[in-house]
Structure 1
């Protein structure tokens, strides 16, 4: 094994980014490397339980400066609606001096970053290598960020005719276009200036997109595999859910989760609830209270709780998603196809129904539904949202044992999962990745 290195990690201040960075930190620490993890002070408490090597992974808390228009006390993306993310970018940029002070004092060999586009410039000044570690899909990077790419427009040489935006996606693309324009500029700058690009994916799923990125940016693209937590090291499923789920027969429950950043409008939230009710199947929905509501209960459709009380739960707090997916009673996973949920659904035995909300999720959904045919996408109305009927139809189409589409996606999903869990595949990715990092930092050592 090569020499040990010290890595800084500086992910975007969202748990969907910080958590996979910490899973990667655990893999580095397991091989004897040291990691300094730069995160907002408040986030440390929520992440500490994921740190399996506290003697090798050190949290370095950052003070998030106030920014005009950003609610007081905001430290992570889950504290604000996505429309205010641009202001959190500004706050992240204002931590540059704190980051540079830490680099000067602790002298790392390399820095892994994603949204902080100024890291490569700073790293060069201190003779430190910079790696842009992307926890979004290679598909989204290839389509939107590769030189020549633009929001909603397929770039030249892009390697797929099916994993693309369509006319019905215009609503979600336009509604967030300013947000994505600024994000595009940040990410593109980081990709153009870093020493090496890495992505939380594997060639078996996104190989053609990774090759395209490598050609477009003229930089080595390293892959880590999906970087999910080790299931045996997790806590058991909470009694509340294991007792509730045990009431239902095998593979009969629909579990729906839309990630930590999605906050629905009240009418969208109610349509989601009513769509679940229409399936006549048992269900557990984990979503944040909709806009304008403090609690889930106050936003539920009239009479809903009474009608579904023996078979349905709408839950407004965090749940143990991987453990719920692994429960024998859960047979369908309805999700937004965020990159973490995409991998968790692939590595589960559940039928997959997708309801993308943001731009990259639309492309991830097309990869799953069109390229691999392992899932079904809920059809949208002209408004950009879906009806309770279209949600119910998508779920029942995959849950019906005699359904042609249900059997097709089940068979294809089983085949792809078998490849992904084949012995040594995922550990092989991380071993090769760490070896590449050791080679990368060799010339930074005195």
Structure 2
């Protein structure tokens, strides 16, 4: 612990899982901590460092440390994050992540930080305790999905019918007003990751290892706020018998960046609140059939739209996967983009009225602080649960109805029309609830109070050791 301008500061190491949905929130948290004068050592692979450097707002306080990943047979050379590999190879990247343990331990011994923040690196709490470092589990996917899946009462095993049945029901003592539930086909998506067993796990599944790490760590913090997930934060405190600290939504400051001129001009040609924006994050890659059904459903609305998705599996570009005649039919009212876009600036644009999302927690946090109406198409385990939270409990969104295989173009169009049709009663209630929640979240001082409280709790942890 160092002393600066009359206030104590600390040194924290960050070691996130190798997916952009984890790496980026860890850096947002690093920026917030560095803003208060704290020093950060951020551990991640070298190529990924170059992707993140532009988001480092405090290079004098946040230092990137390159992580060496071991060679794993079958893992493509240079693969560093989940975005770099196909779904079928994701387990190999997980092996490389766990295989970096010795390197990370040596870094931590050299650094001797006050804290190490981690997520899936289950071994961190026990090692940190041995060398006198406080461990902080940082959950980036919200409290509700964590409360449903990552609790000691679960015991997730692969190809276990009992597991599949149990995951379709909430765990015991979940808040009574909870609407969280997984359907059978969603359970099939949720099980594989959590049921994996790793070579150094002693026969334990990923789920058991993560649960154990939450039991053993010194503190749990979650990227969320009590205005959204109050009862689930309380539930997790009871489950793990320790404080669960919301950090706030940790959205980056966008006031000093401008939307690229070409896109700003295009959006500006449409009336306020009329444009549909659709994006599924950096990990989701659809099949050609899913991609075409999605863009056809959006076309059916008759509204202007911007779709930003990765090219479907087997295609180099989104253009070559578009349905026959699609471009000619939509003309200038529709754009389908296959690369990175400035999502926060797009969501804040006055012409954008609807956001069709995969329910990634970061994307939803951005949208709740803007005026866009939410249409949800969850693709993976925690996304289903976040969707139930927003559409079922908070009633600030519409979840698209799904058939056994995927979402039909008709159901996509219907869900969008609920929130975009001014005469729809259900849509009116959703808009009113969204407006009310936005008011709570954007109230002056709310975000800063979460971070101030969080830093105070970290200082208290340090003081316990003095």
- Shorter-chain TM band: over 0.9
What is the match of residue 109 of structure 2? Answer: 104
TM-aligned CA deviation for residue 184 of structure 1? 2.0
Q: How does 1:433-444 map to 2 (within 5 A)?
A: 433-444=454-465
Deviation per residue, 1:175-199 (Å, 9 max, x gap): 4522232342342122121111110
Between 1 and 2, higher relative CO (CA 8 Å, sep ≥ 6) is seen in 1
**Do residues 399 (structure 1) and 420 (structure 2) align?**
yes
Q: Give distance in 2, aligned partners of 1:115 and 1:85.
A: 14
On the 8 A contact 1:104/1:126 being kept in 2, the answer is: yes
Tell whether 2:276 aligns with 1:254. yes
Give the direction of change, closer, same or farther, for the CA distance of 1:80–1:151 in structure 2 (3 Å limit): farther
TM-score norm. by structure 2 comes to 0.92
Report the counterpart of residue 47 of structure 1 in structure 2: 52
For the pair 1:341 / 2:346, whether they are aligned, the reply is no
CA RMSD, Structure 1 to Structure 2 (Å): 1.4
Q: Distance in 2 between matches of 1:81 and 1:345?
A: 28
Provide structure 1 residue ranges, at least 5 long, that are not aligned to the other structure. none
2-structure distance, mates of 1:82, 1:159: 34
Where do 1:118-157 residues align within 5 Å? 118-149=123-154, 151-157=167-173
Counterpart contact for 1:7–1:112, Cα < 8 Å: yes
Which moves more between the two structures, 75-84 or 53-62? Answer: 75-84
How far 1:173 moved relative to its partner? Answer: 2.1
Q: Describe the superposition over 1:35-68 as per-residue Cα deviations: whole angstroms up to 9, x where unpaired.
A: 0000111111111111111000000011222212
Any idea what the Cα deviations from partners look like across 1:392-428, whole Å, max 9, x if unmatched?
Answer: 0100111011111111111110001101111111100
Matched, 1:23 2:45: no
Distance in 2 between the 1:323 and 1:431 partners? 27
Structure 2 distance, partners of 1:332, 1:302, is 26
SS at structure 2 position matched to 1:310: helix
Per-residue CA shift, 1:292-322, capped at 9, x if unaligned? 1121111111111111121111111111111
Change (3 A) 1:29 1:424: same
- How far the C-alpha of 1:256 sits from its partner, in A, is 0.4
**Which residue is 1:95 aligned to?**
100
- Residues 246-395 of structure 1 aligned to structure 2 (within 5 Å): 246-383=268-405, 385-395=406-416
8 Å CA contact 1:85–1:179 kept in 2: the answer is no
Q: Counterpart of 1:198 in 2: which secondary structure?
A: strand
Q: Aligned equivalents of 1:185 and 1:239: distance in 2?
A: 49
Aligned to 2:233: 210
Alpha-carbon distance in 1 for matches of 2:259, 2:228: 29
Instruction: State the TM-score, normalized to the length of structure 1.
Output: 0.96
Secondary structure of 2:434 counterpart = helix
Q: Determine if contact 1:326/1:348 at 8 Å carries over to the other structure.
A: yes
Equivalent residue for 1:5?
A: 10
Q: Distance in 1 between matches of 2:361 and 2:391?
A: 14
Retained in 2: the 8 A contact 1:191–1:197? Answer: yes
Query: C-alpha separation between the residues in 2 aligned to 1:187 and 1:307?
Result: 49
